[in-house]
Amino acid sequence: MEYFKFLKEVVKINSYTQNKAGVDKVGDIFDREILPLGYTLNLHKRELIGDHRHYTSKKNDGKKLLLLGHLDTVFPPNRFEDYNEDEEWVYGPGVCDMKGGDVVIVEALKRVYDELGEIRNIDILFVSDEESGSDDSKFLTADLAKDYDYCFVYEAAGKDMELVTARKGVGTFFVDIKGKAAHAGNHYTDGIDANLEASLKLQKLVSLTDIEKETTVNVGKIEGGIGANTISPEAHLTFEIRYTNTNERDRVLNEIDTIVNTSYVKGSSSSLRGGIQRDVMEESSRSLELIKKIEAITQNCIKYEHRGGVSDANIISSAGVVTLDGFGPYGDGDHTVNERALKKSFEERIELSRKLFKHFIIRGDF
């Protein structure tokens, strides 16, 4: 398949998020494939990370569809840059997360262009910093969202080729705790133990977890103190929250504020940094209705699932756009040197997208 040659070309270029030159080189190759299909490139230039690429098609009356992907991968240069394949699998950084999904977009659009001679009302956004949290691109994505009715995100499919209708929201936070140093032998009572305060706050934070509601709070890192003979003058907690709905988000955020602002060890003080990284993507009646329409268009049963991990689908869904994720090929081992993608899933996903794109262009809606 010609598209595997294209995949190999972009996978062998290191596009670690902080490798601006590499990410931009990958973007240039996608320009080469996409612009001949009648697209206009809107380049959002960045100094320290790769440029974000928004490709716009011809417009007429009707709904508007955005196809969303990212160009960056997780490994720095000289760590994992190989591409290999056998009869069943392709292997390499980004084959499923998500250069493989980006290639699915391009190949499906090429097939529709060959059939219809043009692409209308279907735009593409490739961002450059998804793997590091979309700290820059999330503002662009949210701003562009107002122009679209639907969004398909090309992260990897589920094991049984599921689409994704919901993803947890995630936030990362840091608590800085100040105490007072004192000699642990001679002046024990003069000290204010920041480590003790951290341990008490940790327990309070973790107690916010509600497994039945799929809400979790994880304190993943603790730092503090000087040595065994000194009362700790400062401590630091790093923690993450994940949640499946906005009610749980608000409950946890309110409790976090209470915990941080309460001094369990008299005299200690604390401050909070961080915030919500990507808000929750909740399954909705509109997303389930779109699944039904896709089934009618393709004459296939479409499986779907909820995922605990996040993607840029969270961002555009939170902006009110009807969003489905998981349109990429199936793969596993992402974020490891064992990343791979199933060859036959590429053709399945390309044909699924081709049918949907063709229908959308001709009918002006799903």
Write the single-letter amino acid at 132.
Answer: S
CATH of residue 248: 3.30.70.360
State pLDDT tens for residues 154-199: 999 999 999 999 999 999 999 999 999 999 999 999 999 999 999 9
| 135 in the same domain as 33 | yes
Q: How confident is the model at residue 88 (pLDDT cuts 50, 70, 90)?
A: very high
Helix (H) or strand (E) holding 317: helix 313-318
Structurally, the chain folds into a number of domains equal to 2
Which domain covers residue 237, as residue numbers?
Answer: 169-278
Q: How far apart are CA 153 and CA 107, in angstroms?
A: 15
Last residue of a domain, one of 224, 248, 278: 278
| 229 in the same domain as 289 | no
- pLDDT at res. 1: 78
| 64 in the same domain as 44 | yes
Q: How confident is the model at residue 134 (pLDDT cuts 50, 70, 90)?
A: very high
Q: How far apart are CA 247 and CA 295, in angstroms?
A: 32
pLDDT at 258 over 90: yes
Q: Across the beta sheet with 65-70, what order do the strands follow?
A: 40-44, 52-56, 122-127, 65-70, 150-153, 322-324
Query: Average per-residue pLDDT in the chain?
Result: 97
- pLDDT at res. 222: 98
- pLDDT at res. 349: 98
CATH of residue 331: 3.40.630.10
Q: How far apart are CA 189 and CA 226, in angstroms?
A: 17
| 268 in the same domain as 194 | yes
Q: How confident is the model at residue 104 (pLDDT cuts 50, 70, 90)?
A: very high
Mean predicted confidence (pLDDT) in 268-286: 96
pLDDT at 281 over 90: yes
State pLDDT tens for residues 6-22: 999 999 999 999 999 99
- pLDDT at res. 260: 98
| 129 in the same domain as 14 | yes
| 155 in the same domain as 195 | no
Cβ distance 150 to 295 under 8 Å? Answer: no
pLDDT at 74 over 90: yes
| 315 in the same domain as 226 | no
Mean predicted confidence (pLDDT) in 234-263: 98
| 295 in the same domain as 152 | yes
Q: How far apart are CA 153 and CA 49, in angstroms?
A: 21
| 284 in the same domain as 274 | no
State pLDDT tens for residues 92-103: 999 999 999 999
| 179 in the same domain as 218 | yes
| 252 in the same domain as 149 | no
Q: How confident is the model at residue 65 (pLDDT cuts 50, 70, 90)?
A: very high
State pLDDT tens for residues 321-346: 999 999 999 999 999 999 999 999 99
| 215 in the same domain as 141 | no
